[in-house]
Structure formats: C-alpha cells, structure tokens
Amino acid sequence: MFTRFLTVALLVFLASTSGPVGAGGSVTVPNDERAVAHALNRLTFGPRPGELERVKATGLAAWIEQQLAPARIDDSRLTARLARLETLELDSKTIATDYTGPAMRERRERQLPGTGSRETTDAQRKARGVIADLEQAKLLRAVYSERQLEEVLVDFWFNHFNVFAGKGATRNYVGEHEREAIRPLVLGRFRDLLEASAKSPAMLFYLDNWESADPNADQRRRLKPSPSTNPLMEGPGFSPGRRMPKGINENYARELMELHTLGVDGGYTQKDIVEVARAFTGWTIRPRQGSGFLFAAPMHDRGEKRVLGHAIKAGGGVDDGLQVLDILAAHPSTAHFIALKLATRFVSDTPPASLVDRAAARFTATKGDLREVVRTIVTAPEFFAPEAYRAKVKTPLEFVVSAVRTTGAEVKNALPLARELREQGMPLYFCQPPTGYADTASSWVSSGALVSRMNFAVKLGGNSLPGVRVSNPDKSMAVTIGSPEFQRR
C-alpha cells in the first residue's frame, strides 16, 4: 500500500512539473506519415483528401496544439452550413411552446373516442424537426468542422453524460444540454463540466432528479400556494396539476458516482448513494419559464449528510449538492476513471496502465484540466506505439462520417446519413441507457453490422444517398470503404 502511495505521489509530482508540447516539455511528437495518419484517424472523424500532406507540412505537434485551442480556428464555413437549421439555437421554452407542445396536445386529442387519425400532421412534422435539426448539425459538424478534436470530444462527453431524447420532456432540453452543458466545457475543468451536467434540465428530467424531494419536508410549505398541486410541476412538457413528489429518487445519485465520476469500482457504498441523493433533493427544473435549473428549497432535505467520509453540515441548501460535486471531482477514483475512459477512446480498448496512471496524475495535478489530460494522452509514446495503430473499431458514427470525409462527398442534406446510423444501431440522441454508446469493438463487430456497413458503402459510392453526392464515384470506392482496414481507426 505504501509503495503504491509513493508511486502515485511521484506521478502527480511529475505531472505537475511537466510542460506541454512545445513549451519546454520533454514530449516528442513524431511527424512521419504513419504517425500523422494515425493522429488524423484518432483526433478527427477521419482525414479528408490531401489532409495528411497538409498536417505533415505544418508539423503534427503544431497541429495538435491548434486542435487543443479550437477557439483560435476559423470555422465560419461550418457556421454558414448550420444557419439553415431553424431550431438549433432555440431555447427549450420556445421548443416546448411552439414545437413539441402543440404536437403533444394534438396526440392527446386523438386519444379521445372518434378522433383518431394515422395521418402525419404539420404539428407533428414541426416537432420532429427539432431532433432532425440536432441530427443534421451533429453530422455536419463532424464532416465539415475544422475544429475536429473539439467535435470528437463533444461526442465523447455527450456520451459520458448521456441523456435519452425519447424520454418525455427530455427532447425539449437535449439541444441545450449539448450546446450549454457540454460543448463549451470539453477542454475546460472537469468540475465545471460536472456541475453543468448536474444542473442541466435534460439530465434532471432524464434521471428523475427534478422530482426528488425530502419525504419529511413541511407539507404546508411544499404545497403552497395550492393545497393539491405544486406550481413547480406546471409548464411546457409537464402535466397540469401534477402532485408534489413524495420521496427521494436515487437514479441520478447512482449514475453520478458509477458513470460520471468514480466508476463502478470507485469505493462508494449504497449508503453513499442515499446520502448523495439527499444532497441533491430540490435540484429541479424551472418549468413555468420552460428552461433552466432551479433549486427548490421546500423540496430539500436539510439534514446532515456524510458522503465518502466527508461530513456535509445541516442546513446547507443548494451548497449540499455543490459540496458533493467538489468531493467527487477531487477523488482519486474519478481521476483514474476519466483517464481510463479518455485513453480507451484515443488509444485502445485496453489502454496501457502506465498511460492511464500518468493521465490520472495529470488530472489530479491540474485539478481536472481536461485540455492537459487530453494533451498527455495524445502526445504520449503509447498513443503512437505500433500496437495502437488501427487498434480501434469505428462506431457507426465514426464509420459513416469518415467515409463521407475520405471521399470528399458534398452533404446538402444529412438526414439520410442519420437514417443510416439508425439502421446500423446508433440513432443520434436516442441511446436509452445512461451508459451511452459503447466505445469498444465487441459492441460493434457482428456479421449484421458488417453487412449494414457494406450496404452503406455501396450506396455512398454509387451516389444513391439523397442529399449526399460524391464528385467522382467509381466501383473501387465501395470496396475501399467496406474493407476491414477502413472499419478501424
């Protein structure tokens, strides 16, 4: 035990004193063709024609540093492509009021006797357009963004903090979840990302924390001003007259520790889950405004809590949950779990323990600076090792987007690509379990999956996907895209 402590302490010290690439650090990034091709396959959604030569001329180390500072990269061409997606920047109140709300009311009316109809109405088409715009935006960003590493990380962290658009009012909030809780923070501090996710209405609704309440709270205060309903439960996407929740819900607390921070073997107990759930009572949604986080003090358990050995004093209010986030973000198990997940994404399904330990030490030394953790991984010798080359199987998203990028195809309408992803078992924003989509080969390699990928390759190579056009298709293109080598990155 003492030896292990000294090892970890030494790694943290080294991580805190080492500099980034090009700033006096000792890391040497290769610049040969194989290394550049490998980096483009891992840090982007696949190289475009001529990109390998351009990056090699720039220098791989310099290119990686550019990608780690996405705000400095001009992405105006992508912005122009996204401008036609009318719901992309709307807040959830507008979406609930003008899009999903009318469709919901229409469905309720059709449930009345003698009012049923199977025709798709304008209201339903308009509501479906919200998710369609999100799907198109995700695919267009993956295909065309110059900030490729940022897009890879947005996909990674959305998956890490997954929400399922098919669950009730979650579809109203999922766009805000990605736009505000994930995208701005993927290269920031993990603690900030964790809090943004915890306060995200999409997460609060998806994992039921929005209705988690102290069962012993003062009933008179909780129900005021109505004796039978709670005004917090009224608004777009909520059933009128819904009663105040009657107890604590442990769903978010469990996933917060198991999936978002410590990991399944992170050292917590069922007692810790209950205490964390108590700390987050009253963390709910502001439904009358249709958007935003709200701390509802009448719903909160004000008693003392004890989480992973840390005492949280009674009467803390919203600070109880914030203290829990502080504890979890600073925990050594969280550093290891996040380092392992990132190394699995960028290196291999079973990344070297030496790299995971160094990345975890960097996480601890920098207080969860995700830019530094990613830099540590993607400039490491283990990242460029021969055994890491083509070691990862592409997910359907990576396969479809890399095929479009490598052929230089023009995408006027990305919805046919989204349909292809559904056929390949990866519908965007509709992964139901909180684990998100798997990032390992075992989940995506099967005879059926390979057939679906080959069918897509034939359609892309033959220019038979509406809205997607390859300038110079030929018969060999489908063979190349469908090859075992192209299935890997």
3-class SS string, the chain: CHHHHHHHHHHHHHHHHCCCCCCCCCCCCCCCHHHHHHHHHHHCCCCCCCHHHHHHHHCHHHHHHHHCCHHHCCCHHHHHHHCCCCCCCCCHHHHHHHHHHHHHHHHHHHCCCCCCCCCCCHHHHHHHHHHHHHHHHHHHHHHHCCCHHHHHHHHHHHHHCCCCCCCCCHHHHHHHHHHHHHHHHCCCEHHHHHHHHHCCHHHHHHCCHHHCCCCCCCHHHHHCCCCCCCHHHCCCCCCCCCCCCCCCCCHHHHHHHHHHCCCCCCCCCHHHHHHHHHHCCCEEECCCCCCCEEECHHHCCCCCEEECCEEECCCCCCHHHHHHHHHHHCCHHHHHHHHHHHHHHHCCCCCCHHHHHHHHHHHHHCCCEHHHHHHHHHCCHHHHCHHHCCCCECCHHHHHHHHHHHHCCEECCCHHHHHHHHHCCCCCCCCCCCCCCCCCHHHCCCHHHHHHHHHHHHHHHCCCCCCEECCCCCHHHHHHHHCCCCCEC
Out of 366, 388, 410, a domain closes at 388
Report if pTM > 0.75: yes
Same domain, 257 and 281: yes
Same domain, 383 and 467: no
| Confidence class for position 17, pLDDT limits 50, 70, 90 | very low
Same domain, 92 and 62: no
Task: Inform me whether the pLDDT recorded for 470 exceeds 60.
Answer: yes
pLDDT tens profile 139-184 = 999 999 999 999 999 999 999 999 999 999 999 999 999 999 999 9
117 occurs within a structural domain: no
Residue 456 contacts residue 358 (beta carbons within 8 Å)? no
Say which range, 26-40, 43-57, 221-235, 310-324, has the weakest mean pLDDT: 221-235
Task: Inform me whether the pLDDT recorded for 461 exceeds 70.
Answer: yes
Task: Inform me whether the pLDDT recorded for 67 exceeds 60.
Answer: yes
212 Cβ contact list (under 8 Å, min separation 6): 245, 247, 248, 249, 252, 277, 280, 281, 282, 283, 284, 299
Q: Which domain holds residue 471?
A: 396-482
Quick one: average pLDDT of 63-86?
A: 97
- Round to whole Å and give the CA distance between 8 and 459: 52
20 occurs within a structural domain: yes
116 occurs within a structural domain: no
Same domain, 199 and 215: no
Residue 284 contacts residue 249 (beta carbons within 8 Å)? no
Give percent above pLDDT 70 in the chain.
87
pLDDT tens profile 82-138 = 999 999 999 999 999 999 988 888 888 877 665 555 677 888 999 999 999 999 999
Residue 225, pLDDT score: 37
Mode of pairing for the β-strands spanning 410-411 and 468-469: antiparallel
Out of 173, 203, 233, a domain closes at 203
Size (the chain), residues: 489
Same domain, 338 and 431: no
Quick one: average pLDDT of 277-291?
A: 85
Say which range, 111-120, 256-265, 478-487, has the weakest mean pLDDT: 111-120
Same domain, 292 and 363: no
Same domain, 103 and 195: yes
484 Cβ contact list (under 8 Å, min separation 6): none
- Round to whole Å and give the CA distance between 190 and 261: 10
489 occurs within a structural domain: no
- Round to whole Å and give the CA distance between 232 and 343: 42
Same domain, 310 and 346: no
359 occurs within a structural domain: yes
Task: Inform me whether the pLDDT recorded for 308 exceeds 80.
Answer: yes
Task: Inform me whether the pLDDT recorded for 231 exceeds 70.
Answer: no
Same domain, 317 and 219: yes
Residue 138, pLDDT score: 98
107 occurs within a structural domain: yes
Same domain, 463 and 410: yes
Residue 23, pLDDT score: 38
Residue 185 contacts residue 194 (beta carbons within 8 Å)? no
Same domain, 367 and 462: no
- Round to whole Å and give the CA distance between 229 and 211: 13
Out of 172, 203, 234, a domain closes at 203
When divided into structural domains, the chain yields a total of 4
Residue 59, pLDDT score: 98
Average pLDDT taken over every residue of the chain? 89
Quick one: average pLDDT of 329-337?
A: 98
Written as six digits, the tokens of 121 are 């109405």
Task: Inform me whether the pLDDT recorded for 12 exceeds 90.
Answer: no
* Radius of gyration for the alpha carbons in the chain, expressed in angstroms and rounded: 24
118 occurs within a structural domain: no
Task: Inform me whether the pLDDT recorded for 241 exceeds 50.
Answer: no
| Confidence class for position 78, pLDDT limits 50, 70, 90 | very high
Same domain, 160 and 256: no
pLDDT tens profile 377-431 = 999 999 999 999 999 999 999 999 999 999 999 999 999 999 999 999 999 999 9
